[in-house]
Amino acid sequence: MFLVFLLMSFLFWLLINLSKVSTSVARFDLTYYNLPHSKVIQNAPLKYLKLELKAKGFKFLSYQLNREPLRINLDHIRHLKGGKYYYLPNNYLRELQAQLTADVELISVVNDTIFLDLTITATKKVKITPKLDITFKTGYNFAKPIKITPDSVEIQGPKAWLDTIKTVETEALNLENLSENINQELALKIIQDDKFKYENTQVHIKIEVEKFTETDLTTSFSVINLPNNYQISTIPQEVTIKYQVSLANFKKVTASMFIVQCDFALSEKEHLNYLIPQVVTQPDFVTMVQVLPGKIEYLLKK
């Protein structure tokens, strides 16, 4: 019985004190709006304000349990220097008071200044680089170059940071023993920061695969940059070109599609006693091109 009366006494005392008007400090989280055009907040500003309030104890208790964040109007900021700005909350007590209930009186703001770092926003178009790890099934290879749509992305954000961004990678895509075409969406690796806005966050990747075969053909070659009044005899006079080609394009390949040259000036510059055959023209649908032999013996006559 004694404990019951003690508890009731405490409750009555608490209710009496909570109903009294008093002055105290309450903490409010902050949100910011009306950011100046073409500006963005570079570093996180002050996250909360301490307000000196006059209200009943019940109100202070409710603020501890649930309170709406205060909205700071950045139309009122003042320039300090460079990208530094500041806001004086005590100059806008009426605006802050309007965000509180009518039974609460705002006396002052304990934090007398809010500092902000603002920077200029810019827009930049950046190339997209696919991050791929591909291995093919034996006999298969690319039928066409990999197609990324779109091949670039527009980013909006702080100019100083954008200047350092040269490319945007996709998420990693690992393909093993590939023998079929790939058509799929691939996410971009974006900066997880509200200061950056991306035109799109995904790209479409298209990989066309074909079965290839290895074959070869024989063709002649020419010698360029030969000194005036000199004649040259080469051993051999023809070379073999080994290459890979898809089965669909196999019959299209002819020897005339390959142009092979030996640069005499290059051999002299490198002090070589032989010529190096190089393919300077080839069909765009063949791969893994190799010239045999890799060295051409020669006789020079004046």
Instruction: Tell me, yes or no, whether 4 lies in a domain.
Output: no
Instruction: Tell me, yes or no, whether 296 lies in a domain.
Output: yes
pLDDT band at 13 (very low <50, low <70, confident <90, very high): very low
What is the per-residue pLDDT for 46? Answer: 87
Tally of domains within the chain: 3
3-state percent helix, strand, coil for the chain, nearest multiple of 5: 20, 50, 30
Q: Last residue of some domain: 59, 88, 112? A: 112
Instruction: Tell me, yes or no, whether 192 lies in a domain.
Output: yes
Mean pLDDT of all residues in the chain?
85
Same domain for 196 and 218:
no
Domain containing 172 — which CATH number?
Answer: 2.170.120.40
Domain containing 297 — which CATH number?
Answer: 2.170.120.30
Same domain for 217 and 203:
no
Instruction: Tell me, yes or no, whether 33 lies in a domain.
Output: yes
Q: Are 143 and 201 in contact (CB under 8 A)?
A: no
For 247-298, how does the pLDDT look when each residue is reduced to its tens digit (9 = 90+)? 889 999 999 999 999 999 999 999 999 999 999 999 988 888 999 999 999 9
For 147-203, how does the pLDDT look when each residue is reduced to its tens digit (9 = 90+)? 999 999 999 888 878 888 899 999 999 999 999 999 999 999 988 887 788 999 999
Domain extent at residue 71:
22-112
Same domain for 166 and 127:
yes
Helix axes 57-65, 2-18, angle to 10 degrees: 90
Instruction: Tell me, yes or no, whether 7 lies in a domain.
Output: no
Q: Which helix (H) or strand (E) holds 5?
A: helix 2-18
DSSP string of 241-296, one letter each residue: EEEEEEGGGGGG--GGG-EEEEEHHHHHHTT-SSB-EEEEE--TTEEEEEEESS-B
Same domain for 283 and 228:
yes
Same domain for 235 and 182:
no
Same domain for 140 and 80:
no
CA distance 283 to 248: 14
For 91-109, how does the pLDDT look when each residue is reduced to its tens digit (9 = 90+)? 999 998 888 877 778 888 8
What is the per-residue pLDDT for 293? Answer: 95
Same domain for 104 and 128:
no
What is the per-residue pLDDT for 143? Answer: 83
Window from 29-43, 111-125, 186-200, 266-280 with minimum mean pLDDT: 29-43
Q: Last residue of some domain: 183, 207, 231? A: 207
Instruction: Tell me, yes or no, whether 9 lies in a domain.
Output: no
CA distance 39 to 292: 62
Same domain for 191 and 137:
yes
What is the per-residue pLDDT for 156? Answer: 87
Same domain for 217 and 190:
no
What is the per-residue pLDDT for 272? Answer: 92
DSSP string of 169-185, one letter each residue: EBPPEEEEEE-S-EEEE
Same domain for 162 and 95:
no
What is the per-residue pLDDT for 63? Answer: 59
Same domain for 137 and 106:
no
What is the per-residue pLDDT for 15? Answer: 46
Instruction: Tell me, yes or no, whether 12 lies in a domain.
Output: no
User: pTM for this one?
Assistant: 0.56
Intra-chain end-to-end CA distance of the chain, in Å: 130
CA distance 170 to 152: 11
Please report, rounded to a whole number, the percentage of residues in the chain having pLDDT higher than 90. 46
Q: Classify 80 as helix, strand or coil.
A: strand
18 pLDDT more than 50: no
pLDDT band at 302 (very low <50, low <70, confident <90, very high): confident
Q: Last residue of some domain: 156, 178, 207? A: 207
What is the per-residue pLDDT for 269? Answer: 92
Instruction: Tell me, yes or no, whether 183 lies in a domain.
Output: yes
Same domain for 227 and 177:
no
